[in-house]
Amino acid sequence: MARVLIENVTKSYGKTEVIHGIDTVIEDGEFIVIVGPSGCGKSTLLRMIAGLEEISSGTISIGERVVNDLEPKDRDIAMVFQNYALYPHMTVFKNMAYGLKLRNFSKNDIKQRVDQAAKLLQLEDLLERKPRQLSGGQRQRVAMGRCIVREPKVFLFDEPLSNLDAKLRVQMRLELRNLHKRLKVTSIYVTHDQVEAMTLGDRLVVINDGYAEQIGSPIDLYERPATKFVAGFLGSPSMNFIDARISADGRMAELPGTFSLALGSDVTVGQEGRAVTIGIRPEHFSLAEEEQSAFSLKIDHAEFHGADTIIYGRIADNDRLLTVRLPHRHEINLEKHLFLAVAPEHIHFFDQKTGKRI
Amino acid sequence: MIEKRPFITWFSHAVLLLGVALVAFPIWITFVGASHDAVRMTQVPLPLLPGDQFFVNLKAAFVQGVGNAKEQSVGLMMFNSLIMAMMIAVGKITISLLSAFAIVYFRFPFRMMFFWMIFITLMLPVEVRILPTFEVVANLGMLNNYWGLTVPLIASATATFMFRQAFLTVPDELLEAARIDGAGPMRFFKDILLPVSRTNIAALFVILFIYGWNQYLWPLLITTDKSMYTIVMGIKQMLEAAEEAPEWHLIMMTTLLAMIPPVWVVIGMQKLFIKGLTETEK
């Protein structure tokens, strides 16, 4: 087990820089998730840690040892791939044993370790099967087993659950979490799925376009997103953004049209009179009487999800699209307007130009 | 496509049966010819039903040899052919595997140029460069031995190209997983790439074995020593019996024998052969 230190790491292909100086420390035993939209460079970062891609500049250290120029096999890491990358001609046992065999472990040691891992992953009955005789979830476990038997300092996961169906994904997510609890190996997990990221990670690194937008615990990132990008990326349905202007006295956020949101006295945005983007999560709207409401919503349609109802609509006088999530079931009358209020502490403010949190 | 028109069914069966007859009839004639004695084979019309001399002829062909090639038996010629076909097939596969491995998995200067150089040799089979190749082989002192028979035929663009395509379909993650597991390039080649390409190797082996077995022009040119004759050119020599009439019954027997090893290879490796040409899942 070890700490992973990423210092000012960049990656360029020819003249195009795709990762622009990422800095972070992954503590011993931590489960960190690197999350971002596809093509943001998250996999590249992981592959640089694994040693499958060269590091253009900066340093990566694993357990106080700079690994920039080490081969993948000497970095003491193990990796799970999206398509599992099991050796198709080897049995499950041989798949798991291969890494140990190459490291000249004795037959007994190999057998003991593989059996132990198989027990942990409930693969005991499958050891003699070939990968093609396994289901997706089982293949995934074998790929995990191949990592576990090596007892590496760091686990790397490259979108390991993307090829599974929705139900299995939830189940494997839980298994992964439990596995990490038992083994306590430093883990770096790449995904584009924000639900996976939020549920698995001790901390998240949100990457966009090769920059680390924000690093922090899931709760931090959800409640205090540092940028508009992070705010919009985490949470489903995603946050509503509305352009607004802070009133001259700093007490109101005026929306285009006639509505405005009251800002509590304890919410100080500063910079009165300034144009900002306000962000409100769908679940932070509440129903209100007409006179106490901030604005009214024309309903386009509503989706009943069981535990809650998602309402898509437009602000009555400026046609801005809005998503609202109300708990439980609501009889929705498409003819009527919905009157909504927002608690001031749930309003996020972002700079219109830079997208940074104010 | 599902069509239920009786005429189409009838017609397509007729075409297929005709095709079968076209292929099977000469083989039947060969078999029939191999089972009669010399006298019957010179009378017209030629027999269409098998006679009773099959095992007599078999023994004669194996033990005493036929016609011009009388000094060595069919057995020896078949052994020569077998060695040549095996050396060509194994040699081509080995060299092609290695060159395709280099081209697909290593980044070296002029990689694509080398690939195209290999590819261009497709246009230069032995028949086209036969005189210069003969000169080279003769100067290397490889006339009348197995090396001379096989080496010039071994370098192969087709097989290299086929393995290149096969390797390109192997997912990159397999290489990466192997690298993380600690496998070097040759280890990866031996432990992962070869077993994964097993069916392709089998398919190529079948094709190349038959290619090697059926070689005619090159062995004819390179061998003057009768002990190095191959079966295919041996059959041709038998027809050139100087003063006597060709011993058709023995020639037919030899032809029949010459067909057996390729058939045996095809039947034995049929399953892998088809998989290797059609299977895409790695």
pLDDT per residue over B86-125, tens digit each?
999 999 999 999 999 999 999 889 988 988 888 888 888 8
Residue A249: half-sphere exposure toward Cβ, Cα within 13 Å: 6
Give B76's pLDDT tier (boundaries 50, 70, 90): confident
A153 and A292 co-located in one domain: no
Residue B280 is predicted with a pLDDT of 56
Compare B280 and A183 and report the one with higher pLDDT: A183
A41 and A145 co-located in one domain: yes
pLDDT at A89 over 80: yes
Q: Is residue A121 included in any domain, yes or no?
A: yes
Q: Which of A204, A233, A262 is where one domain is finished? A: A233
What torsion do the CA atoms of B164, B169, B175, B177 make, to the nearest 10 degrees? Answer: -170
A67 and A162 co-located in one domain: yes
Tell whether A87 is within 8 A of chain B (Cβ).
Answer: yes
How far apart CA B99 and CA B157 sit, in angstroms, is 10
Q: Is residue A193 included in any domain, yes or no?
A: yes
Q: Which residues contact B144 (CB under 8 A, 6 or more apart)?
A: B222, B223, B224, B225, B228
Question: pLDDT, tens digit, for every residue of A155-171?
Answer: 999 988 888 888 888 88
The ipTM estimated for the assembled molecules is 0.82
pLDDT at A98 over 90: yes
What tokens appear for A325 in the block? 């999530």
What tokens appear for A134 in the block? 């396994």
Q: Is residue A313 included in any domain, yes or no?
A: yes
A92 and A199 co-located in one domain: yes
pLDDT at B137 over 60: yes
Spatial contact of B121 and B62, defined as CB atoms under 8 Å apart: no
Compare B41 and A232 and report the one with higher pLDDT: A232
A181 and A274 co-located in one domain: no
A56 and A193 co-located in one domain: yes
Q: Is residue A358 included in any domain, yes or no?
A: no
Residues of chain B contacting residue A146, judged by C-beta atoms under 8 Å apart: 177, 181
A297 and A347 co-located in one domain: yes
pLDDT at B64 over 70: no
Q: Is residue A245 included in any domain, yes or no?
A: yes
A244 and A170 co-located in one domain: no
Residue B86 is predicted with a pLDDT of 94
A256 and A289 co-located in one domain: yes
User: Mutate which of B180, B186, B193, B201 to test chain A, going by most A C-beta atoms within 10 A?
Assistant: B180
- Domain of A270, CATH number, reads 2.40.50.140
Residue in A closest to B196 by C-alpha = A89
How many C-beta atoms surround the C-beta of residue A89 within 10 A?
A: 18
Give B282's pLDDT tier (boundaries 50, 70, 90): very low
Nearest-5° angle of CA A15, CA A25, CA A158? 65
A118 and A246 co-located in one domain: no
> How many domains does chain A divide into?
2
Question: pLDDT, tens digit, for every residue of A3-27?
Answer: 899 989 999 988 888 999 899 999 9
Q: How far apart are the first and last CA of chain B?
A: 29
pLDDT at B55 over 50: yes
pLDDT at B226 over 50: yes
Residues of chain B contacting residue A78, judged by C-beta atoms under 8 Å apart: 180
Q: Which of B173, B176, B195 sits opposite A89 (nearest CB)?
A: B195
Q: Is residue A356 included in any domain, yes or no?
A: no
A31 and A158 co-located in one domain: yes
Domain that holds residue A323: 240-351
Q: Which of A85, A90, A102 sits opposite B173 (nearest CB)?
A: A85
Mean pLDDT of A118-128: 89
A116 and A142 co-located in one domain: yes
pLDDT at A317 over 80: no
When the pLDDT of each residue in chain B is averaged and rounded to a whole number, the result is 85
Homologous superfamily of B11-278: MetI-like (1.10.3720.10)
Distance of CA B223 to the CA centre of its chain: 19
